[in-house]
Amino acid sequence: MKKKLNIAVLGSGFMGKAHSNAWLMAGKFFDVPFEPVLKINFGTDMELTKDFADRWGYEEITADWEEAVNRKDVDVIDIVTPTYIHKEMALAAANAGKHIFCEKPCAVTYAQAKAMADAARNAGIVHYLNHNYRRVPAVAYAKEMIERGKLGTIYHWIGTYLQDWIMDPNFPLTWHLQDKFAGGGPLFDLGSHSIDLARFLVGEIESVTAVSQTFTGERFLPGRGAATFASGESLNSEKGQVTVDDACFLMAEFENGALGSIGTTRFAGGRKNHNTFEVYGSKGSLCFNFDQMNELQFCDMTEPDADQGFKTISVTNAVHPYCSAWWAPGHVIGYENTFFHAVADFLNAVSTGKTIEPNFFDGEKITRTLEAAKLSNREGRKVKVAEINA
């Protein structure tokens, strides 16, 4: 009989669903050292929270997240609330000695992220920041290929993360569109993923140069306030200021000399969750596009000229990362399964006390880079990441 691990999930939206699913199911597919128990769910709207908790089988619900964090019978705090409150929750959890599983982006400022990293370090807890795309098997296999030297010296990272969900000018002023709640627009939401992947696969970023644009400067306030918006909800007739970017493009110089670009926007019509990257090295090139998340493209530059080309690998074979747990080759997996991988790895980290990545230390670096991009955009100049202080 496995030891149970009690989980408090703070939040109950889209991400609450994805996390709950993963806590329940990771152990069905992976050999994990604990049986996670959905102990308690925190939400602000008690009716919605009760429905959510019933569906996913939580034992309890609460409207007081601090109470959940400080309960003796809770082992893990899973944070899926809007970004601005991550720091407060994480510090409380670290202080209570709870392990933390935290949705991205880490925080709205570098100072916050640094505080989270420091608190986690001091508390000696296991902490994980859910940049889930690292655990797409195709991406994990890209990492393996790079570590095996299949790319040689890396010259370029070309990343884009394009969406289109706020192109409608009547899309309301949700928390995502307010700097104080979100830290930034696509730069924070999508760019944090792209920067995480770039650091994972290429290395540390030394400087960034960023330009951003906001196409819709004012939007109607949502009926129930900025932080909660359900699709179809009636809008206020009042408008408020959009205080984040609608699009942010940046260029990155890596410490190892590679040159990269990252384009993020919420105004790319037809792109739903278009998270792509290309990595070019002296010996090979890799391409990934989340739209075909089970595929990785590789061009081996050590082959004869006549035979070079980009090869589409179906990363669904038992020999590929995470794939022995799943189905047969070609029986593709989906977005949600990346969360299972994260939970399985997290449970192993809790058991062994070993570090899992990305974590708040990564979040600290990513948020520092994001702040550098904001400064670069503001001042119209290249900014070294090291310029940014907490």
| Residue list 221-240, contact with a second copy (CB under 8 A) | 231
Residue 301 binds a second copy (CB under 8 A)? yes
* Contact with a second copy (CB under 8 A) among 63, 67, 147, 165: 165
> What binding mask, one character per residue, do residues 12-31 give for a second copy by CB under 8 A, x or -?
--x---x--x--xx-xx---
Q: Coil, strand, or helix at residue 299?
A: strand
Residue 201 binds a second copy (CB under 8 A)? no
The CA dihedral of 289, 249, 366, 42, to the nearest 10 degrees, is: -70
Give whichever of 331 and 354 is closer to a second copy, judged by the CB atom. 331
* Contact with a second copy (CB under 8 A) among 113, 197, 333, 372: 333
Phi, psi of 178 (to 5 degrees): -125, 125
Structure tokens that stand for 123 in this block: 């508390």
Give whichever of 93 and 145 is closer to a second copy, judged by the CB atom. 145
Closest-CA residue to 374 (of 273, 243, 193):
243
Residue 143 binds a second copy (CB under 8 A)? no
Residue 354 binds a second copy (CB under 8 A)? no
**Residues in 80-119 at the binding interface with a second copy, rule: CB under 8 A:** none
Please identify, among the stretches 193-201, 319-327, 348-356, 364-372, the one whose residues bind a second copy according to the rule CB under 8 A: 319-327
CB of 103 to a second copy, least distance (A): 14
CB of 307 to a second copy, least distance (A): 6
Q: Which residue has the tokens 């530059």?
A: 301
Give whichever of 334 and 353 is closer to a second copy, judged by the CB atom. 334
CB of 224 to a second copy, least distance (A): 20
Tell me the C-alpha distance between 57 and 54, whole Å. 5
Instruction: Give how far Cα 346 sits from Cα of 36, 121, 179, 383, Å.
Output: 11, 16, 30, 34
CB of 88 to a second copy, least distance (A): 27
Q: Contacts with a second copy: how many residues (CB under 8 A)?
A: 92
* Contact with a second copy (CB under 8 A) among 111, 167, 235, 375: 167
* Contact with a second copy (CB under 8 A) among 63, 73, 327, 355: 327
Task: Find the angle CA(121)-CA(91)-CA(55) to the nearest 5 degrees.
Answer: 115
Beta 247-254 vs 205-213: how paired, if at all?
Answer: antiparallel
Tell me the C-alpha distance between 53 and 57, whole Å. 6
CB of 295 to a second copy, least distance (A): 8
CB of 243 to a second copy, least distance (A): 18
Cis peptide upstream of residue 105 (ω within 30 degrees of 0): yes
Residue 56 binds a second copy (CB under 8 A)? yes
Give whichever of 89 and 333 is closer to a second copy, judged by the CB atom. 333
Residue 353 binds a second copy (CB under 8 A)? no
CB of 299 to a second copy, least distance (A): 3
Tell me the C-alpha distance between 27 and 325, whole Å. 10
179 near 359, Cβ under 8 Å? Answer: no
* Residue 304 neighbours by CB under 8 Å, 6+ apart: none
Beta bridge partners of 60: 40
Tell me the C-alpha distance between 375 and 78, whole Å. 31
Tell me the C-alpha distance between 253 and 379, whole Å. 18
Please identify, among the stretches 37-45, 117-125, 151-159, 190-198, the one whose residues bind a second copy according to the rule CB under 8 A: 151-159
Residue 272 binds a second copy (CB under 8 A)? yes
Structure tokens that stand for 387 in this block: 């310029």
**Residues in 36-55 at the binding interface with a second copy, rule: CB under 8 A:** 55
Closest-CA residue to 334 (of 27, 35, 25, 101):
25
The CA dihedral of 124, 129, 135, 136, to the nearest 10 degrees, is: 180
Please identify, among the stretches 62-70, 105-113, 281-289, 354-362, the one whose residues bind a second copy according to the rule CB under 8 A: 281-289
CB of 72 to a second copy, least distance (A): 27
* Residue 364 neighbours by CB under 8 Å, 6+ apart: 106, 110, 113, 114, 116, 117
CB of 260 to a second copy, least distance (A): 8
Residue 367 binds a second copy (CB under 8 A)? no
* Contact with a second copy (CB under 8 A) among 73, 180, 223, 310: 310
